[in-house]
A and B are shown apart, each in its own frame.
Chain A
Amino acid sequence: MDPRPDIAANRLSPECLAIRFADAHPPLTGGQAAIEADRCYFCYDAPCVEACPTGIDIPGFIRGIATGNLAGAARTILESNILGGSCARVCPTEILCEGACVRTAQEEKPVVIGALQRHATDWQMDEGTQPFPRAAETGRRIAIVGAGPAGLACAHRLALHGHTVTILDARPRPGGLNEYGIAAYKLPDDFAQHEIDFITAIGGITIQTDRMLGRDITLAELETTYDAVFLAIGQAGVRALGIAGEERDGVLNAVDFIAGLRASSTGADVPVGRRVVVIGGGNTAIDAAVQARRLGAEEVTLVYRRGAETMSATKVEQAWAQTNGVAIRYWAAPLRIDGPDGAVGSITFTRGRLLDGRPVHDQDTFTLEADMVLKAVGQLFLPDPLDRGAIAIENGRIRVDAHGRTTRRLVYAGGDCTPGADLTVVAVREGRDAAEAIHADLTTATGA
């Protein structure tokens, strides 16, 4: 047997890849949407609204779908969440709106709120019109760093109020993790870019790519040129495993593996191991494992330190991985990675257990043969691009008040670089609310 690890591109035909990376959850037809909309009870004080981080008036928009008022439905969604289209596709609705749907309590079959939201927002984007007119220009200029969901939501709300926005992003394409992080089959057909086109069509928003804060420009420079700055730089760093062999060829950060796939037009040129081991228990681990399988990996094993109940990936996501042929192994911590000539050949784990309510890994070991190891044990916010000491950092993220104000005057932040759940929809809320704070501060503060 060839001792060299088997890592290769083009494991599957382009036709096969096209099917595997197409829309995992195709849109509802008009008829399906009508039937589903009629299942909504139009609750009063609806639990789903409270469960949506952006607080969309869900019964309100579903009624619009039920009555054939799609324009009103889309408007209701988008006035709370301008990225309602991507949220409809990527939100873990089972722990958000649909988890709270009273039909979940009644019959374990929620109204498919996400799919209905997509129905209405797709209609709006296909219309090619803008649901909200922009206010008269105020002459105020705001810089936004990071063109991910937080930055885009902030930009749209500011533009709506008549301000002029410049977004800087270090990457060659805008969109943040919508563009290079979210699983390919959740946002196929260049949806992230279409949504950006829809958002920026309101006017007053310029996006500059390949412009990196800390390399091409400083925070201080931004502050002198603009009236306010919104930081939405996400989390550029990743956690290390801290084990022997981590530097070997074939050991990759899951986010980099996914970014490579998202950057590829067909996926055909993305190398993937024959046997892949993914380490982690969150969204990223699931997405990396499933996409490795869909690229043609023969065996994919996802290994998590603790049990299923503490995994941050939801039950639905775990089941999704399993139906995609990913084996999930619980209670095992990586110990070391071995292999021939600086490459990966196997990875050894120590079994763990719960002791006095805490996980300990003190049991026997086992070894999995592997050609590729993907690390998905968490991302990290890197404060390096910010001028040293200019802004308070707390627990590894930028400290903000409830409206996104940092400790520095007229500098705001939101999304994954600030505390709170790392979800697209949460980033959207934080961007939106920071925009309202900026608008209020700029229009009411004297001499701002």
Chain B
Amino acid sequence: MADLRSHFAGIRSPNPFWLASAPPTDKEYNVRRALEAGWGGVVWKTLGEDPPVVNVSSRYGAFNYNGNRLVGLNNIELITDRPLAVNLAEIKSVKRDYPDRAIVVSLMVPCVEESWKRILPLVEETGADGIELNFGCPHGMSERNMGSAVGQVPEYVEMVTRWVKQNTSMPTIVKLTPNITDIMQPATAALRGGADAVSLINTIQSVVAVDLDAMAPMPVVGGLGTHGGYCGPAVKPIALRMVGEIARNPATRGLPISGIGGISTWRDAAEFLVMGAGTLQVCTAAMHYGFRIVEDMIDGLSHWMDQKGFATIDDVTGRAIPNFVNWNQLNLKFKTLASIDQDACIKCGLCHIACEDTSHQAIAKLRVDGTRRYEVIDEECVGCNLCAHVCPVDDCITMVPQPVEGVLTWPQHPNNPARVGK
């Protein structure tokens, strides 16, 4: 059996699955249920200074696709709207009862050192295992110069992280916003400020849908809408890229990463781990299905690790990073060709029309004795994979790698005006 125990930037948990700072971790009641369900830890819903913020009614908008609900979720909620003392007392009580779990507290206070100095000892007193600095909330709080308003300015990220590190001994995770051009800027700033780890991504600024009757972005609050933060399965590709970027960049190599963004299954979790994450945070999937999804996440990850011969989470973290390269390093001599399994083909014609209309006219549409038949024209196929993706039958179209002779990358390619050694 694989050992799923996690030791992340000085924070221990029985498994790497944490609930991200959000409604699932807003109250003691929810957090206890989560820990009972088996979650390795939680990042408590972001605390701020009193008086607490006020949240609106109508908070979520959904992106549903082809009958699948919540492919993406958009929210306009702010940080916790409960008094600081209430949250602190609850955190203390939970930590006392669950000493083996990771209880991390998310924080967001104004960008003045005094504010941080005030709140840090109060959190420390709860016995929490660490803190996460919320530099990511992309709506509402950013209008008040907090959240992503800080996260988008690397100098502020560094400055606030430094204040925090100077005023507490708790492990400090800096939560990054994806609403930025180059994720390396805030990541390196956090490192310079002394962060023990980074977590990403927070939500992406978005308008999830427009109500065509109300003529307002959704969710509609009394006839008006605002932009919100996007999360859920739809954001996973963006998160994976940013996590991998930080993991592979020499400037941040070795910096622990807590991966967040669209994680819904053990498979998603495995992908984040091999792209460099050490722990995983989940929000939308739990909000969609409840806490018990963690059972299959733990079970599936553990089986997969056994199959692959990975004993610990550390064995898995970053496994794909050596193969995550710049485009420049790809072999231009490599070639793959589409191949259609005629016995599995159901004659939907989607491969043909995709290639014919939008690619390389490499799938012929035939009629043999009146029956439809689709055949790949090898000479025309560039191996783009589109047909294999549109085919609704599993394993009907496969991409067959062709024999390759040698390696030729763009830096050496004759078509490259700036080629090496020219």
10 intermolecular pairs with C-beta atoms under 8 Å apart: A38-B67, A41-B392, A43-B349, A44-B348, A44-B352, A45-B349, A45-B372, A47-B347, A102-B392, A106-B346
Ranked 8 nearest A-B pairs via Cβ: A44-B349, A44-B353, A102-B346, A38-B67, A43-B348, A105-B346, A102-B348, A106-B346
Interface string of B347-374 (1 = CB under 8 A from A): 1111011000000000001000000100
Judge whether B393 is part of the interface by a CB distance below 8 angstroms.
yes
A103: which B residues are within 8 A, CB to CB?
346
- Alpha-carbon distance A106/B341, docked complex (angstroms): 13
- Alpha-carbon distance A46/B66, docked complex (angstroms): 20
Judge whether A34 is part of the interface by a CB distance below 8 angstroms.
yes
Q: 8 Å CB contacts to B: which residues of A23-58?
A: 34-35, 38, 41-47
Query: Within the complex, what minimum Cβ distance (angstroms) separates B210 from chain A?
Result: 15
Cβ B350 vs Cβ A38 within 8 A: no
Query: Within the complex, what minimum Cβ distance (angstroms) separates A220 from chain B?
Result: 45
Q: 8 Å CB contacts to A: which residues of B318-358?
A: 346-350, 352-353
Query: Within the complex, what minimum Cβ distance (angstroms) separates A350 from chain B?
Result: 40
B352: which A residues are within 8 A, CB to CB?
44-45
Number of A-B contacts (CB under 8 A): 37
- Alpha-carbon distance A47/B346, docked complex (angstroms): 10
Cβ A35 vs Cβ B67 within 8 A: yes
Q: How many residues of B contact A (CB 8 A)?
A: 13
Interface of A is mostly: helix
Cβ B346 vs Cβ A46 within 8 A: no
Cβ A41 vs Cβ B67 within 8 A: no
- Alpha-carbon distance A106/B393, docked complex (angstroms): 8
Cβ B347 vs Cβ A102 within 8 A: yes
Query: Within the complex, what minimum Cβ distance (angstroms) separates B228 from chain A?
Result: 24
Known contacts A41-B392, A47-B372, A106-B393; is-contact A34 B67 (Cβ 8 Å): yes
Residue of A41, A47, A66, A105 near B350 (CB, 8 A) is A41
A interface list, Cβ under 8 A from B: 34-35, 38, 41-47, 66, 102-103, 105-106
Known contacts A47-B372, A106-B392, A106-B393; is-contact A41 B66 (Cβ 8 Å): no
Query: Within the complex, what minimum Cβ distance (angstroms) separates B136 from chain A?
Result: 34
- Alpha-carbon distance A288/B346, docked complex (angstroms): 37
B372: which A residues are within 8 A, CB to CB?
45, 47
Residue of A34, A35, A45 near B365 (CB, 8 A) is A45
A66 nearest CB neighbor, chain B only: B66
A39 nearest CB neighbor, chain B only: B67
Query: Within the complex, what minimum Cβ distance (angstroms) separates A390 from chain B?
Result: 39
- Alpha-carbon distance A66/B349, docked complex (angstroms): 20
- Alpha-carbon distance A445/B116, docked complex (angstroms): 92
B348: which A residues are within 8 A, CB to CB?
41, 43-44, 46, 102
A105: which B residues are within 8 A, CB to CB?
346-347
Query: Within the complex, what minimum Cβ distance (angstroms) separates B174 from chain A?
Result: 41
- Alpha-carbon distance A45/B349, docked complex (angstroms): 6
B371 nearest CB neighbor, chain A only: A47
A38: which B residues are within 8 A, CB to CB?
66-67
A104 nearest CB neighbor, chain B only: B346
B67: which A residues are within 8 A, CB to CB?
34-35, 38
Query: Within the complex, what minimum Cβ distance (angstroms) separates B290 from chain A?
Result: 22
A46: which B residues are within 8 A, CB to CB?
348-349
Interface string of B401-416 (1 = CB under 8 A from A): 0000000000000000
A42 nearest CB neighbor, chain B only: B350
- Alpha-carbon distance A106/B348, docked complex (angstroms): 10
- Alpha-carbon distance A34/B365, docked complex (angstroms): 31
- Alpha-carbon distance A105/B393, docked complex (angstroms): 11
Name, among B346, B350, B353, B393, the residue most crowded by chain A CB atoms within 10 Å (CB to CB). B346
Q: 8 Å CB contacts to A: which residues of B30-77?
A: 66-67
B365: which A residues are within 8 A, CB to CB?
45
- Alpha-carbon distance A102/B351, docked complex (angstroms): 14
Query: Within the complex, what minimum Cβ distance (angstroms) separates B118 from chain A?
Result: 52
B352 nearest CB neighbor, chain A only: A44
B393: which A residues are within 8 A, CB to CB?
106
Cβ B346 vs Cβ A44 within 8 A: no
Query: Within the complex, what minimum Cβ distance (angstroms) separates A33 from chain B?
Result: 11
- Alpha-carbon distance A42/B393, docked complex (angstroms): 14
Query: Within the complex, what minimum Cβ distance (angstroms) separates A32 from chain B?
Result: 11
Query: Within the complex, what minimum Cβ distance (angstroms) separates A245 from chain B?
Result: 48
A66: which B residues are within 8 A, CB to CB?
66
- Alpha-carbon distance A254/B189, docked complex (angstroms): 87
A100 nearest CB neighbor, chain B only: B347
Known contacts A34-B67, A38-B67; is-contact A44 B350 (Cβ 8 Å): yes
B392: which A residues are within 8 A, CB to CB?
41, 102, 106
Query: Within the complex, what minimum Cβ distance (angstroms) separates B387 from chain A?
Result: 12
B66: which A residues are within 8 A, CB to CB?
38, 66
B353: which A residues are within 8 A, CB to CB?
44-45
- Alpha-carbon distance A47/B352, docked complex (angstroms): 14
Query: Within the complex, what minimum Cβ distance (angstroms) separates A66 from chain B?
Result: 8
Query: Within the complex, what minimum Cβ distance (angstroms) separates A76 from chain B?
Result: 19
Q: A38-B66, A102-B347 are in contact. List 12 more A-B contacts (CB 8 A).
A: A35-B67, A38-B67, A42-B350, A43-B349, A44-B348, A44-B353, A45-B353, A45-B372, A46-B349, A47-B347, A66-B66, A106-B346
- Alpha-carbon distance A47/B350, docked complex (angstroms): 12
B67 nearest CB neighbor, chain A only: A38
Query: Within the complex, what minimum Cβ distance (angstroms) separates A107 from chain B?
Result: 9
Name, among B66, B348, B350, B352, the residue most crowded by chain A CB atoms within 10 Å (CB to CB). B348
- Alpha-carbon distance A45/B365, docked complex (angstroms): 10
- Alpha-carbon distance A43/B374, docked complex (angstroms): 13
B365 nearest CB neighbor, chain A only: A45
